[in-house]
Amino acid sequence: MADLNVITLTGVATREPKLRQKSGDQVKAEFSLEVDRPFYRNTGEPVSDLFLVDAWNDLGRWVMENITEGQRVFVMGTLNKERYNTRGGREHLTIVKAKYMQTTEDHLADDGLDIEALKADRWPMSLLNNAVAIVAGVLRDDDREPVESITVDPGIDVEVEVDVDVDVDVEADVDVEVEVEAEVEADVEF
């Protein structure tokens, strides 16, 4: 059984993506993503982290068509450590393997997250719930494919939209419209 390894980032692409041909028909797009922290240095300069992002095959091709240097990007994926040999010995590199990506115009952390709470060593449940709701909102607003989501905590409602197509063969012209509403509750423990 695998453990959960999920990372969600927003930031700015700091260089044009590069496409690398791998074995067989596989391709990998790589680019760097700068992610601002909610901190400033004593000089007033913002603090940020730089991540290497890999996107494979269809997602990699999407990156090559849609991501440019300076583009703000929303990325979900996994953190992976890769090892490689150099003249100085064996090195390690932590990368983000993207599993989902879209471009965005906004700083999503500005959408209802308490910046002071983000600086804390431990985040309150309300901040976590707001962060999950923001991510669910981004996914819900993506019109590339339907996304289902859940309610995370009482008071934080996340809509579920499911598109269903039904074909019915009848011998007369009949218009049928069906509307279904359902409410599902689940207890989630952290």
Give strand pairing partners of 73: 11, 103
pTM across the whole model = 0.68
Whether 78 and 5 have beta carbons less than 8 Å apart is answered as yes
Type and span of the H or E element at 157: none
The residue extents of the domains of the chain are: 7-105, 106-167+178-185
Higher pLDDT, 92 or 26: 26
H or E, element range at 92: strand 89-103
Higher confidence at residue 87 or residue 113? Answer: 87
Checking if the pLDDT of 63 tops 80, the result is yes
Q: Does domain 7-105 have CATH number 3.40.47.10?
A: no
Alpha carbon 111 to its chain's center: 15
Q: What is the pLDDT of residues 82-91, one digit of tens each?
A: 888 888 888 8
pLDDT in tens, 154-171: 554 444 444 444 444 445
Q: Rounded CA gap, 117 and 127, in Å?
A: 7
- Average pLDDT over the chain, rounded to whole? 79
Q: Which of 10-19, 40-49, 126-135 has the lowest mean pLDDT?
A: 126-135
Paired tokens of 79: 């953190």
Is the pLDDT assigned to residue 104 strictly greater than 90?
A: no
Burial class (CB in 10 A: 0-12, 13-18, 19+), 38: middle
Tally Cβ neighbours within 10 Å of residue 136: 21
Least Cα distance to 108 among 75, 59, 148 occurs for: 75
